[in-house]
Amino acid sequence: SLTTTDRELRDRATRALVLLGDRHPRALFGCVVESIAFNDPYVPERALAAAYGVCMRQWASRSVVGDLTDALRVLVPNILALVLRQDALYSTWHTLTRGYAIGIIEVYRLLRPRSVSASDREMLKPAAWHAQSPFRDPNEITKEDVEDPERAIRSDFGNYTIGRLTDNRENYDLTHQEYAGVP
């Protein structure tokens, strides 16, 4: 359900993960580690959000703090290695994902203050290297890049996305009167 485009359903799925994690933090945290490699960015974001929610709900509760600490002892090194370190395989510039990951580690540090090394504590601060931006440097954009808008609309986008906005048009009918008039 975390992969759905229905936000309400995604929110309910995230809440279900929090409720699972309240009773079984190790089970949830194991799922979180698996989700980090998932190719849909909503999945690790929501999984980390659920884990962070569990941490925030439980960190001060004496009845569950031992279980939470033990579960975090496994989760935190994985988050550091997979998401936050400079050479992390799944490093991300996504602010929410990084924020949840950092929040989880900060809760662990509240429970075990000396649990995170000084070098790893540096990962908890914003860093320019944490992931490459998907956007080109504005200084590298040439005049030709912005003067030719036709290059912005590739054939599939023009055909399937813009083309379906016109009535009675066959795929790849570039001469259709209404389609040809779309700016």
Name the more confident of 26 and 1: 26
Cα 169 from Cα 103, distance rounded (Å):
51
Q: Looking at the predicted structure, is the pLDDT value of residue 63 above 80?
A: no
The rounded mean pLDDT for the chain is 86
pLDDT one-digit tens code per residue, 100-118: 999 999 999 999 999 999 8
Helix and strand element counts for the chain (H, E): 9, 0
Q: Which candidate, 38, 36, 68, places its Cα nearest to that of 49?
A: 36
- In the Cβ-directed half-sphere of 109, how many Cα atoms lie within 13 Å? 12
Q: What is the pLDDT of residue 148?
A: 63
pLDDT in tens, 133-158: 667 788 888 887 777 665 566 557 77
Angle made by CA atoms 54, 41, 46, in degrees to the nearest 5: 15
Angle, helices 65-79 vs 95-111, to 10°: value is 130
For the residues 38-57, what does the mean pLDDT come to?
A: 94
pTM of the model as a whole: 0.68
C-beta of residue 104 within 8 angstroms of C-beta of residue 123: no
Q: What is the pLDDT of residue 76?
A: 97
